Amino acid sequence: MTCPPGRHRPPRIKSGEGNHTGRVSHFKKCPAERPSNLPALPNGRSDVLIAGGGFAGFALAIALRQALGRSFTVTLADPAVGQTGRDIRASAIAAAPRRMFEALGVWDAVANEAQPILDMVITDSRVHDAVRPVFLTFGGEIEPGEPFAHMIENGRLVAALAAKAESAGVALIATAVADFTAETSCLNAALRNGTAMRTKLLVAADGARSRLRERAGIATYGWSYAQSAIVTTVAHERSHQGRAEEHFLPSGPFAILPLRDNRSSIVWTERTEEAERIVALPDDDFHHELEKRFGLRLGDIVVSGPRRAYPLGLWVARSFIADRLALVGDAAHVIHPIAGQGLNMGLRDVAALAEAIVDAVRAGLDPGDAAVLERYQRWRRFDTMTMCVSTDGLNRLFTSPSDAVRLVRDLGLGLVDRFPALKHLFIREAAGLVGEVPKLLRGESLGL
Ligand SMILES: Cc1cc2nc3c(=O)[nH]c(=O)nc-3n(C[C@H](O)[C@H](O)[C@H](O)COP(=O)(O)OP(=O)(O)OC[C@H]3O[C@@H](n4cnc5c(N)ncnc54)[C@H](O)[C@@H]3O)c2cc1C
């Protein structure tokens, strides 16, 4: 623990409904005299402390406040709270997480900005091939009127989540969680602004390079792909008609993902050195490289957003839990964006952890109890490993330079294309509706 005694002040709460001054029922069993190298602060307490205000952290904070009411205090700390323009990406939000956003009352705020994906085509070719034969098409709806996914810009969705968290009474603090010590019946956290906080459960939603995961001594396994995804936005002459395209090229997938207003988000995978070279090109040369891959189907194109390369890898935490600590989202697992499932997996963590906590608290149990955390881990582990193996396998299959492998994969795609029942199963899987689906992802509220 790095906070020297005497430097601790009560946390400065940026927003919220005074939930640090009201009754804090879950601390009845957390004795002030318990040995700790942080002083007990009457105002520095929260039933749950969430480190990280990305999709995962905000969604969990809202779910807990809405289900457990005002006497259950939730604090979210992130140095970037209130800064929503940093992420230039857009995400495919599958049907199940969209249902969860609806249950949390967030979807209405972004529905007009979200572009339904009405169908998807998959091709397998080389950059200079004149024709890109379509091997597989996915289309249709999960339920009548419900597309299998929507595209939305990350900044807009995080802004809507932040606004909902604030109105739900989550205490937002614009600083990082720097360190923590778990005790038997509570956890003491030191915040980067020099304040301290005592909680029953610390949730690390602090992203792929999670410092809290490291601090808990939880190792990760996985590897870097030596690939990076170039992300940018283009405006085009013709309408995409809600169609997403994924062109499997030898260096990795080149995805054209539909956004509102005749625009598309590009996720373009290259070897890392090549991605860095392309991102640094002058505008005209960048446009030329992009056009070679984009094709002519949508008419003239204009790069209408910034560009950035994201290094890609597969990383999974060896454990999703430790004493009074749970990892969610990218802090627990990072996968290749080939299937657009990383965030969707993180929201599955959130829905499962929220349900485990809410059930426990309603039964009069401690939200950071080992049994609650074990239930969360059991629920998420198998599903996470399955997704890691599938996305890794897909990436290897489609980047293999062998003509024999190419022939086999194209035959496989063609076969899937001919079996509607198989395609339907894949769509439901991609929509997040297969397996033991937590209530929030079924669109059910956790409220009584
Ligand atoms: C190119 C690309 C495209 C993708 N496309 C898709 C897609 O289409 N669909 C999909 O489902 N997924 C997609 N993903 C994956 C998705 O973007 C991530 O899984 C998701 O953003 C992770 O969200 P998160 O909330 O877990 O973490 P993050 O969004 O990384 O948020 C972590 C937050 O923690 C904060 N933080 C860091 N350290 C601390 C600390 N010590 N204390 C407090 N706060 C801290 C940071 O400021 C940050 O705000 C894509 C990924 C990439 C790279």
3-15 pLDDT, tens per residue? 333 333 333 333 3
Helix count (H) and strand count (E) of the chain?
11, 22
| 231-271 pLDDT per residue, tens | 999 999 999 999 999 888 888 889 999 999 999 999 999 99
Residues whose CB is less than 8 angstroms from the CB of residue 295 and which lie 6 or more positions away in sequence, other chains included = 132
Q: pLDDT band at residue 296, thresholds of 50, 70 and 90? A: confident
Distance separating the N- and C-terminal Cα atoms of the chain: 39
Q: Are strands 196-204 and 325-327 parallel, antiparallel or unpaired?
A: parallel
pLDDT at residue 16 in the model: 32
Please provide the average confidence, as pLDDT, over all residues in the chain.
85
pLDDT at residue 5 in the model: 32
Residue 390 Cα to ligand 1 midpoint, Å, equals 20
* Helix-helix angle 370-399:403-418, to 10 degrees: 120
Residue 245 Cα to ligand 1 midpoint, Å, equals 23
Q: pLDDT band at residue 32, thresholds of 50, 70 and 90? A: very low
Ligand 1 pocket: which of 14, 60, 83, 91 to mutate (most atoms within 8 A of CB): 91
Q: Is the pLDDT assigned to residue 412 strictly greater than 90?
A: no
**Amino acid identity for residue 64 in this structure:** L
Return the sign of the alpha-carbon dihedral for residues 90, 96, 102, 104: negative
Backbone angles phi and psi of 387, in degrees to 5: -65, -40
Share of the chain above pLDDT 70, in %: 83
DSSP state of 440: G
Mean pLDDT of 51-76: 96
In a 3-state reduction of DSSP, which class is residue 248? strand
Pocket of ligand 1 (CB under 6 A): 51-57, 77-80, 89, 91-92, 176-177, 205-207, 211, 229, 231, 267, 310, 329-330, 337, 340-344, 346
Q: Is the pLDDT assigned to residue 413 strictly greater than 90?
A: no
pLDDT at residue 130 in the model: 61
Share of the chain above pLDDT 90, in %: 65
Strand stretches in 31-184, DSSP E: 45-51, 74-77, 90-94, 115-117, 119-124, 134-139, 141-143, 146-147, 149-153, 171-173, 177-182
Q: Are strands 308-317 and 196-204 parallel, antiparallel or unpaired?
A: unpaired
pLDDT at residue 43 in the model: 55
Residue predicted with more confidence, 128 or 37: 128
Residue 207 Cα to ligand 1 midpoint, Å, equals 5
pLDDT at residue 68 in the model: 96
Q: Is the pLDDT assigned to residue 74 strictly greater than 90?
A: yes
In a 3-state reduction of DSSP, which class is residue 50? strand
Output the residue whose Cα is nearest ligand 1's atom 52. 337
Residues whose CB is less than 8 angstroms from the CB of residue 448 and which lie 6 or more positions away in sequence, other chains included = none
pLDDT at residue 421 in the model: 66
The closest-lying atom of ligand 1 relative to the alpha carbon of residue 178 is: 41
DSSP state of 31: -
What is the C-alpha separation between 142 and 370, in angstroms, rounded? 37
